Amino acid sequence: MKICVCGAFLLLLFLCATVAGLGSVVVKHYEYVKHHYTWDEAQKHCRSEFTDLGTIFKKSDEETNLESYAAWVRLYKINGNWVWFDGQTMSSNDDRWEPNATHPSDSCAVVYYGSNKLTGSKCDRYAFFYCYVGHSGGWYTFVPESKTRSEAEAYCNTKHDHLASFDRGQLLGSEVKEQDFPVWTGLRREGGAWKWSYGLSEYRNWPSVEPGDQDVCVAISSKDKKMSAKSCSARFPFVCLSTNLLLVKENKTWEEALDHCRALGAVDKGQYDLVSVQPDDDFVTTVMQQADTEEVWVGLRFLAGSWLWVNGATLLYPDLPLCPPLLQRCGALPKSSGDFVLADCLERRNFLCYRKQ
């Protein structure tokens, strides 16, 4: 009779401070940022506050709500008073303001779609804007171009009549509507090649044909999510990607990889571990395509006669061998498929860590 054994003290060591029964531990979500930045500025912001500028991996990733926006109106501060275009003043206690919406340094105002309320702003920020078209009995038109307050007013004065003056309160509700405007994604074309800021994805959603060879950055429509090529210096709101998954491009043994992941918490006071992978974790497969090795270590280990995830997650792979050879007791994922490679724990590979929530 062949008996598979492994030291119980090792099992306790690897499973220290874990919770049994975990499902998928990988988190991926998108954050819509309404500030108007160039593509490079947006990328820098996302990398400092989240993970990176947003990559679209599949159709369902487009479901992020992008409706909200800020738009300049012709309300400004003169001698400490808020004044509309026609000279009407507006109290800072008016219910058309957002709560705590004004600051002593604010001299201009924007309206936010969603709340349809006003908020004070510095005049040199960038926003979309509304112009008034026609004279008495005219209408308002939304301009999805990013400009400062003075630039927006100059545009309206040249193209239409003037920057919109919503001096009657009800117009904020009836005229400030859902609009279509560009939102930056992480896709960029340089030297004729498309590249996402984070990860690899073949997803495209052009309205007809993709643009030519010029170096451009890609935005999506806030409404139908169709892609469009824009100058990278243009300013738009943007979508950031946030994930707790981390690919480490260092070649380490399995146990060195485990120690590396768990030591990451000393940097940001979080808790990290080698990742567990469930059958529906296709995002993991996408991220690992950028590894420098053909397989990456994950948290699968054979200990005390059983296969387990070292973070205590539920193991949903019934076809693993009941008694693997001594040199095949650590689990790695190959870039070419979703099937595990059982390997010698002393081999060196890149690896996947995750931050516990």
Residue-level pLDDT at 171? 66
Residue-level pLDDT at 92? 79
CB 352 within 8 A of CB 246: yes
User: Which residue type is seen at 168?
Assistant: R
Distance (Å, rounded) from C-alpha 178 to C-alpha 224? 12
Residue-level pLDDT at 21? 53
First and final C-alpha spacing in the chain: 44
State which residues of the chain have pLDDT below 70.
Answer: 1-22, 135-137, 167-171, 213
Length of the chain: 357
CB 199 within 8 A of CB 185: no
For residue 2 the two structure tokens come to 């062949």
**Dihedral class, residue 341 (left if φ above 0, else alpha if ψ from -120 to 50, else beta):** beta
Residue-level pLDDT at 169? 59
pLDDT per position as a tens digit, 287-331: 999 999 999 999 999 999 999 999 999 999 888 999 999 999 999
- Report the candidate in 108, 111, 110, 112 with the shortest Cα–Cα distance to residue 122: 108
Residue-level pLDDT at 86? 75
Other Cβ atoms closer than 10 A to 72: 31
For residue 145 the two structure tokens come to 């171009």
Locate tokens 């859902």: which residue?
178
Cβ-based burial of 1 (10 A; exposed 0-12, middle 13-18, buried ≥19)? exposed
Distance (Å, rounded) from C-alpha 44 to C-alpha 198? 12
* Domains of the chain, earliest start first: 8-27+244-355 (3.10.100.10), 28-66+180-243 (3.10.100.10), 69-174 (3.10.100)
User: Which residue type is seen at 173?
Assistant: G
Distance (Å, rounded) from C-alpha 305 to C-alpha 269? 34
Residue-level pLDDT at 233? 96
Average pLDDT value over all residues in the chain: 88
pLDDT per position as a tens digit, 237-282: 999 999 999 999 999 999 999 999 999 987 777 899 999 998 878 8
β-partners of residue 331 are 342
- Report the candidate in 253, 274, 275 with the shortest Cα–Cα distance to residue 346: 253
Residue-level pLDDT at 174? 79
